Amino acid sequence: MPRKAPSREPDPLDDYSTWDVRIARAYYYSFIASALIMVIGIWGLILSGIDPAIWKQYLALDAGFQVAIVAAFITGHLILLVLFYAMFKGGIVRMCRTIYKNRTVAKKWEDYTYLRWLMGVTILGIYVVVISLIIGFLPGGTIKFISDLTLWALENFNVGHWILWIGFCVFLIVLFFFVMFWVWNHGVYIVLRNIKKIEEEEVIDMEIKRDTLKKMSEEERRAEYKKETGKDAAYRGKDTRGYKNWKKKYGV
Q: Report the pLDDT value the prediction gives residue 87, as an integer from 0 to 100.
A: 57
Residue 18 identity (one-letter amino acid): T
- pTM of the predicted protein model: 0.58
Q: With a cut of 50, which residues of the chain have pLDDT below it?
A: 1
The full length of the chain comes to 252
Are 227 and 206 in contact by the 8 Å Cβ rule? The answer is no
Give the angle 147-41-146 at the CA atoms, nearest 5°. Answer: 10
Q: Report the pLDDT value the prediction gives residue 118, as an integer from 0 to 100.
A: 75
Q: Report the pLDDT value the prediction gives residue 129, as an integer from 0 to 100.
A: 86
Q: What are phi and psi of 234, to 5 degrees?
A: -135, 150
Q: Report the pLDDT value the prediction gives residue 227, as an integer from 0 to 100.
A: 80
